[in-house]
């Protein structure tokens, strides 16, 4: 039913005119059922990205497992058991299977579990994951507040096509796997296996290990779901908590939507106020420390002056004592000279009175 609306401006009256019901027929195929094909074609042309964080002790077989999963010899460096700490080392590879390109990033944990005290080994891994989320968060603005708690990944069972196999595989978790790139002859076939003195463990034999299950679930069946879960669950949870810590919300207490600009301005003003407060505190602290330093310098200067005055006084006293000693010595010398002169005079008078000659020197007496 189509209705026309006619407005008469002079009388300002609205007049509704009913029209007859018309049936529209499509002239051809609409074609929106080709959207999946368009998405697949676009995705294939752009390629796919997949990241794997492989955690385990040195020498446990992380690199071998990655090589076996993707049937590729990735570049790797042998690590020692003497790393001082845990460091994460990402490497990216471009893989191609049929006409599908995959950018694979493998993040290895170098030095994990090599320390005597292993309690802190997990922290660099958590920090690395948070850093990746933080980098991605910088591109985001709006908050989604519909998620609660991080859970261990379970293979999805909501898709009817995959529900049966994923339900069965969830019952086998956790998988026990063996990786190897070596070909070992078993009967008349060469298979990837590990050979031990007690026997052979075949990688793709489901009676020996769960490698086939892991490969099927991780790469062939649920790779896209893993990517989606990483974004919609783990990252979104991190993002929500991080923005809540910063004070951002979607609604106020009255359930009214927040303006991002107003929130930004409020946070900016709060930050500037806090910054000014910090600057004032630092300035006051600087002034206080300058005053304390000046006081310390004045006290040290006074101490130096006191020490100088004390040394000067001591020097004057020592000089005075030396002067007194000098005068005493001079008086003793003068007294001795006077006594000697008096003795010589008395001796001369004595010889004159007796008529004797003075005693000659030893040389004359010998002659």
Residues in the chain: 367
What Cα–Cα distance (Å) separates residue 108 from each residue in 74, 111, 221, 252?
12, 9, 24, 43
Q: What pLDDT is stored for residue 229 in this prediction?
A: 76
Q: What's the predicted TM-score (pTM) here?
A: 0.43
pLDDT for 98-152, tens place per residue? 888 888 888 888 888 787 787 888 888 888 888 887 777 766 554 444 337 445 6
Residue 327 burial (10 A CB sphere; 0-12, 13-18, 19+): exposed
Taking a C-beta distance cutoff of 8 angstroms, is the pair 166, 155 a contact? Answer: yes
Rounded distance, CA 55 to CA 44, Å?
Answer: 30
pLDDT for 318-340, tens place per residue? 988 899 998 889 888 988 888 88
Per-residue burial over 297-307, b = 16 or more CB atoms within 10 Å of its CB, e = otherwise: eeeeeeeeeee
Q: Is the previous residue joined to 174 through a cis bond, with omega within 30 degrees of 0? A: yes
């Amino acid at each position: 039913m189509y209705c026309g609306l006619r407005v008469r401006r002079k009388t300002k009256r609205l007049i509704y005119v009913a029209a007859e019901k018309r049936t529209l027929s499509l002239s051809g195929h609409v074609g929106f059922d080709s959207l999946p094909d368009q998405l697949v074609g676009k995705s294939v042309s752009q390629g796919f990205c997949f990241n794997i964080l492989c955690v385990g002790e040195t020498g446990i077989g992380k690199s071998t497992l990655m090589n076996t999963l993707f049937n590729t010899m990735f570049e790797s460096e042998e690590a020692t058991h003497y790393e001082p700490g845990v460091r994460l080392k990402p490497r990216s590879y471009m893989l191609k299977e049929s006409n599908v390109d995959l950018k694979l990033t493998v993040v290895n944990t170098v030095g994990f579990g090599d320390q005597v005290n292993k309690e802190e080994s997990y922290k660099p891994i958590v920090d690395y994951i948070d850093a990746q989320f933080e980098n991605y968060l910088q591109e985001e603005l709006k908050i989604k507040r519909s998620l609660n708690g991080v859970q261990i990944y379970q293979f999805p069972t909501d898709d009817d096509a995959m529900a049966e196999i994923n339900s069965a595989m969830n019952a086998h978790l956790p998988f026990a796997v063996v990786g190897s790139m070596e070909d070992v002859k078993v009967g008349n076939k060469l298979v990837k296996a590990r050979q031990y003195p007690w026997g052979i463990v075949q990688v793709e034999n489901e009676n020996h290990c769960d490698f086939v299950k892991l490969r099927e679930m991780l790469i062939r069946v649920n790779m896209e779901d893993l990517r989606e879960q990483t974004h919609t669950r783990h990252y979104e949870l991190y993002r929500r908590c991080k923005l809540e810590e910063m004070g951002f919300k979607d609604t106020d207490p009255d359930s009214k939507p927040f303006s991002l600009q107003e929130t930004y301005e409020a946070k900016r003003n709060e930050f500037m106020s806090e910054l000014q407060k910090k600057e004032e505190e630092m300035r006051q602290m600087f002034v206080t420390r300058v005053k304390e330093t000046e006081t310390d310098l004045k006290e040290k200067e006074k101490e130096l002056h006191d020490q100088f005055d004390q040394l000067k006084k001591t020097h004057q006293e020592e000089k005075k004592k030396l002067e007194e000693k000098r005068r005493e010595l001079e008086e003793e010398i003068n007294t001795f000279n006077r006594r000697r002169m008096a003795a010589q005079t008395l001796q001369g008078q004595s010889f004159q009175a007796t008529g004797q000659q003075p005693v000659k020197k030893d040389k004359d007496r010998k002659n």
